[in-house]
Structure 1
Amino acid sequence: MGENAMVEEEALMLQGQADIWKYMFHFADSMALKSAVELRIPDIIHRHDGPITLTQITTSLPDATSPDPTYLARIMSLLVRRNIFSAHHPSDGGDTLYGLTHSSRWLLSDSAVNLAPMLLLENHPTLLAPWHYLSHCVREGGEAFKKTHGGDIWALASESPHFNKLFNDGMACTARIVMEAIILAYKEGFESIGSLVDVGGGTGGTVSKIVKAYPHIKCINFDLPHVVATAPEHDGVTHVGGDMFHSIPNADAVFMKWILHDWSDEDCIKILKNCKKAISKEKGKVIIVEFVLKPEGKGLFDDTAFVFDLVMIAHTSGKERTELEWKNLLKEAGFPRYQIINIPSFLSIIEAYPA
């Protein structure tokens, strides 16, 4: 090996070491971000209508009995490096001013679209614990969540009102974000149908957006009885409790956002076959909103899709799928035709037809 090759190899090994250190402590980013949300730091800065000092943040912390500004300074330093917050150092030597960035604006609690509830859900101890069982799943199969908690995530939600609310709030906040993109990008898809059932629609936030934008559509929000029991009333929406593995209410179209990724191929085929029974063979369709894995993808959210595939191992029995996997799944369930519609979102629309 020549001298130049040796220098290059040493540089690559050093970079490799740096990468391992970075990934070893990636959880620190999540914990710092979670603490900022719990402390309502984005909201505090937003209320001041501009960048503020650490002292101003500390004195505005909710329920703070004896706040420690040195801890906060260290947390903010990391979050500034991650571009979650901005930091301006006055030339006169005054206190550093911390401001919002395009990232932290997604964490404002009073914003119509914000990711704070999803961040708190995914970083809750209940959902973090199964991640320690990934290697167990490789060795012996099974589901990480069941290994950790003795039952699946749906059972826990039905038994724990606190976790059920945490889960529903997380799902609702992502629904609002995705639906803004869908409402704008899928206009022709909605205009052609008269009735729609949202399968696994949670508390109805998603379908309420659809009926508000397209009031001619008769909408049904369909989910497990304990979920719809806590659902608020929405104009033009009928809540129906049931089990998608048994039957699905009839409609021109079935809408499923972030549902099939929670389930195995076998379970997805059962759900899709029930979808097929619920729609007409001639004009019916199933509107699936999910990730489409792109192994060589370089898009904004392609990396996130592969992270979510591991989220599925940790929390469900499901998986994220490539286009070929979606094609094979749909074909086996009785949907020989499909098209993928890209929208400005982290998810895509997969339109499936029974004929």
Structure 2
Amino acid sequence: MSEEINFPANEALATLLRPAFGFIDAMALKCVVKLGIPDIIHSHGRPISLTQIATQLESNSPGHRCLARVMHVMSRRGIFASTSSLENEILYDLTPSSRLILKDSSNNPSYAPIILMLNDPELLAPLHYLSFTVTDGGVAFEKAHNCSIWEYLAEKEDVNKIFHDGLACTAKIAFRVIATEYKDVFASVQSVVDVGGGTGTTAHEIVKAHPHIKAINFDLPHVIAIAPKYDGVTHVVGDMFKAIPNGDVVILKSILHDWDDDDCVKILKNCRKAVPEKTGKIIIFEQLVQQEGEGPIDDIVYASDLLMIAHTGGGKERTEAQCETLLKIAGFPRYRFIGNPGLPSIIEAYVE
């Protein structure tokens, strides 16, 4: 008598294997970004065939078979749209998602650098040690590279550039949020300090839009070393745990999620000292955890939370209530939360 074999239900198996194969989606996306395929399609001005894409690649013998399979996967994920021509040839077109990774322009910041940063092999390596973090309580990044992420970036010029290029693209996007939600926020402001401002993109965008403002981009030496010169922006080297330059407004963009609660309070207290006693405020950009959230953006925030654990150990994405607690401890009794349907969310906190 044969023994009955119980095969897993397709839905259960797909639920299991979808995240297991998630790295394929990530690498296929990185592939199309590195090859500039969205820009090839965009420059063509209409749906384009695989052969037409291949002729635009910087290659003497492009691999049509591999390219076809990459494009098929990316089309299934909604990155590209695909249709059949009259000649029964597959044609590819842009979607709203792939338009986000077109080359940067003054009006449309590109997400391409953040895709390359998130999928850099050296920055991905710590994620292989998440189990170590669970069992030993250590920092996955340090297990992978024998030093902290900040020490690593200070030593590795190539990774440092990839990392801060990724942050720079999100800085442009963050400023567009400011410009939309805060139409008059800088009208009476004379000086702005961007703490951990990377290569100065946010400070540059603020000064371009408000030439009367003097902006300080404040970061560590290895970051300022690769920062371009911008009119109206002063690059200042320093340590936010020791002191922060004075300004009417201090900006913290994706800074607090890198640190544990105690370190966040130290940073915020130094921000409190840096702004005017009566009128000072800080503007915080963070991906806030919505405890009841079940949408695709919420999935990204929870994934980012794991990334913070892997990269920094003590960092995490926080709820609005958790941010409020940190602000009150640090001397910011009043705040205004501006809900943003995308990423990030904005918190404006005041000293009075």
TM-score range, shorter chain: over 0.9
The answer (yes or no) to whether the contact 1:178–1:345 under 8 Å persists in 2 is no
Which residue does the alignment assign to 1:283?
Answer: 279
Please give the alpha-carbon distance, in whole angstroms, between the structure 2 residues aligned to 1:234 and 1:300: 36
The answer (yes or no) to whether the contact 2:207–2:233 under 8 Å persists in 1 is yes
Check if 1:341 corresponds to 2:335. Answer: no
Which residue does the alignment assign to 2:67?
Answer: 72
Please give the alpha-carbon distance, in whole angstroms, between the structure 2 residues aligned to 1:148 and 1:300: 30
1:272-315 per-position Cα deviation (integer Å, ceiling 9, x unaligned): 11111111221111111111110112455222111111110121
Which 4+ residue blocks in structure 1 deviate beyond 6 angstroms? Answer: none
The answer (yes or no) to whether the contact 1:182–1:343 under 8 Å persists in 2 is no
1:135 corresponds, among 131, 137, 141, to 131
1:319 corresponds, among 316, 320, 337, to 316
The answer (yes or no) to whether the contact 1:291–1:346 under 8 Å persists in 2 is yes
- Give the share of equivalent positions with the same residue, in percent: 54
Check if 1:292 corresponds to 2:270. Answer: no
Counterpart of 2:349 in structure 1: which amino acid? A
2:90 corresponds, among 89, 96, 101, to 96
Which residue does the alignment assign to 1:237?
Answer: 233
Alpha-carbon distance, 1:130 to partner: 0.6
RMSD of aligned C-alpha atoms?
A: 1.8
Check if 1:53 corresponds to 2:49. Answer: yes
- Count of aligned pairs: 344
Alpha-carbon distance, 1:164 to partner: 1.4
1:26 corresponds, among 18, 22, 25, to 22
Alpha-carbon distance, 1:187 to partner: 2.2
Alpha-carbon distance, 1:185 to partner: 1.0
The answer (yes or no) to whether the contact 1:152–1:316 under 8 Å persists in 2 is yes
Which residue does the alignment assign to 1:7?
Answer: none
Please give the alpha-carbon distance, in whole angstroms, between the structure 2 residues aligned to 1:154 and 1:36: 29
1:303-341 per-position Cα deviation (integer Å, ceiling 9, x unaligned): 211111111012123110011111111122222222211
Counterpart of 2:325 in structure 1: which amino acid? N
1:107 corresponds, among 98, 101, 107, to 101
With structure 2 as the length reference, what TM-score do the two structures score? Answer: 0.93
1:125-176 per-position Cα deviation (integer Å, ceiling 9, x unaligned): 1111111111110111121111110111221221121111111111111111
Please give the alpha-carbon distance, in whole angstroms, between the structure 1 residues aligned to 2:39 and 2:184: 38
With structure 1 as the length reference, what TM-score do the two structures score? Answer: 0.92
1:81-135 per-position Cα deviation (integer Å, ceiling 9, x unaligned): 1111111102x33321111111111111244411111111110111111111111
Please give the alpha-carbon distance, in whole angstroms, between the structure 2 residues aligned to 1:303 and 1:253: 32
Please give the alpha-carbon distance, in whole angstroms, between the structure 2 residues aligned to 1:262 and 1:77: 36
Structure 1's 188 and 12: CA in aligned 2 closer, same or farther, altered over 3 A? Answer: farther
Check if 1:38 corresponds to 2:40. Answer: no
Please give the alpha-carbon distance, in whole angstroms, between the structure 2 residues aligned to 1:175 and 1:162: 20
1:86 corresponds, among 81, 86, 89, to 81
Structure 1's 300 and 187: CA in aligned 2 closer, same or farther, altered over 3 A? Answer: farther
Alpha-carbon distance, 1:14 to partner: 4.2
Alpha-carbon distance, 1:69 to partner: 0.6
Alpha-carbon distance, 1:250 to partner: 0.8
Task: Report SS of the residue matched to 1:191.
Answer: coil
Please give the alpha-carbon distance, in whole angstroms, between the structure 2 residues aligned to 1:302 and 1:216: 38
Where do 5+ consecutive residues of structure 1 fail to align? Answer: 1-9
Kindly report which structure 2 residues correspond to 1:166-177, keeping only aligned pairs within 5 A, or say none: 166-177=162-173
The answer (yes or no) to whether the contact 1:201–1:207 under 8 Å persists in 2 is yes
Which residue does the alignment assign to 1:152?
Answer: 148
The answer (yes or no) to whether the contact 1:181–1:345 under 8 Å persists in 2 is no
Structure 1's 191 and 301: CA in aligned 2 closer, same or farther, altered over 3 A? Answer: farther
The answer (yes or no) to whether the contact 2:161–2:226 under 8 Å persists in 1 is no
Alpha-carbon distance, 1:55 to partner: 1.0
